[in-house]
Structure 1
Amino acid sequence: MRVLLIEDDERVAGPLTEGLRRFGFTVDHARTGAEGLAAPEAAMVLLDLGLPDMDGIDVCRALRSRSAVPIIMITARDDEVDRVLGLELGADDYVSKPFGVRELVARIRAVTRRARPALADPPGGSAQGADGPDRPGTPGVQRIGPLTIDCRTRQVRLHRSSIALAPKEFDLLACLAEDPGAVCSRRQILDTVWEPNFFGPTKTLDVHIAALRRKLGDASWIENIRGIGFRLVPPAEIR
């Protein structure tokens, strides 16, 4: 896996690059936000928030505006607001300095699993086929009433119209869709969509639930089970 490390501190970047290479990663190192934004796209971005030329939050925003590449923030900041803002902008996880290479590798692997990268088209033609990418029986494609979730391509369609979701919004929808109608606890959702033992404000989850409801066009798609969590059901089932 090719990793882009955006980190200005050589005392961090040097050992981290060496350690990641020992685990089999190919590491491209950018020392400023501008270098990072100009670098070729990688499979994973490790982004320091304290950069010399621009705030890492702005780099995160710029990256997310043009790409769904997984982003793990690296921060020495104690302010919870920065971490939450980064997650709201589309970062997938964060690690706080100091940290060990093994911890970072575990987080990279966890984020990669959650990202569910798209599968390549089969030889000799498009994976969509004559009936489109959401045809019944396609591996990785799930239908819940008029809602279609394609975990291979991270695309969502409602009544065959595409819905643009931010990375965390897609992960949240995919989490709820794993067992339609079943209640997912808030803790379960935070551990799955954000990180195990996430200790940030739970308002982060509520913000994403509200955004997802707006994009689905009907708040009743996601039912709030007071004091427990949420469940995903077609609106007709909860009227």
Structure 2
Amino acid sequence: MTTEGTTARIVRSADRKHWWDGAIDSWQSFPVTGNFDLASAAHGLLLVHNEDTVAPGEGFDRHHHRNTEIVTWVLDGVLRHEDSVGNTGVLRPGVVQRMSAGSGVLHSERNDNGYTSRQPLRVVQMWIPPSTPDTAPSYEERDVSDALAGGDLVVVASGLPRDADRTAITLGNRDAALHVARPAAGQSITVPDAPFVHVFLARGDATMDGVELRQGDAVRLTGGGSPRITATAPSEILIWEMHSAAE
């Protein structure tokens, strides 16, 4: 897909990197498992974009992060977060979470439904670098369900000065924002105009500039432009707007 001044690479759901350990089924838009140079495969500032399905009672045991802005978005189920700074959170669909690892933090994430519930957790986790390294670790979450009810594109996390008075949660990167929409069938949204954009169809079906997108598909836009996305079924769309690239 190419328009004047804009190039787009479509990454189909099945073409993502796949990792599975029996309890966690991870589909990775960028290679993460075993990759120690995330910036080499990044798109703009987006280093990691994983869609993980986690079995009941299972999850990621306590592990370390540093100098990473981690944004978590639950699609189905309930996620429990705990970290070494004393933050805890129980995330459900419609609640956006940001953990700034800064100078270093340990955290764990688990499917909060027990082993006997048979209810998997489906969650998207996204990483970008901070603008300023080695800050104090911090945590923020907010329920944005009401804002999403109309189907319009909503800024749910941002470090852009433009969004200082309206964003749901604040990112530690001044060049990035995450938008989410839940359009009904037939409803359209306009993709933000930025040098780097990542569009992910988390649920449903849609078209963009005549190209059909299915659940799990992503589009990496470079060079600006504002294409329209039209849902052809009730959908959920995550869009990263980025004004610089990872180094």
Q: TM-score if structure 1 supplies the norm length?
A: 0.27
More strand as a share of residues: 2
* Structure with more contact order per residue of length (Cα contacts < 8 Å, sep ≥ 6): 2
Q: TM-score if structure 2 supplies the norm length?
A: 0.26
